[in-house]
Amino acid sequence: MVFVPNPCVGKAHGPKAYHYKDGQIASCIDYEDPDYVGEYWPNKMAPLITAAGLDHQDETYEEQLTQLICDHLGLPALDRDTITVDRDLMASYF
């Protein structure tokens, strides 16, 4: 699972999460529209996310969605203090 917190700072796109299986993207979750089931990068977790009934207006929504994804896949909870940031990639935005 790869979480991309700011995929496009300039265009203000929201976070995305990519679930890889056997080296291929199996699912793409767009935090701005997590219920969306896309054609190019399908969101196979959309039914799970819809069933959870998360409130998009809640200020902890992104954290709740991340926790839901981690719980579903059996991943450890994300710890803000241990998140890896690609500084070169961030610098390339500016």
pLDDT at res. 52: 92
Tally the residues of the chain. 94
Instruction: Please determine, for residue 68, whether its predicted confidence score (pLDDT) is greater than 70.
Output: yes
pLDDT at res. 36: 72
**pLDDT per position as a tens digit, 77-92:** 777 676 666 667 667 7
pLDDT at res. 76: 83
For residue 57, name the pLDDT band (cuts at 50, 70, 90). confident
Helix, strand, coil shares, percent, the chain, to 5: 30, 15, 50
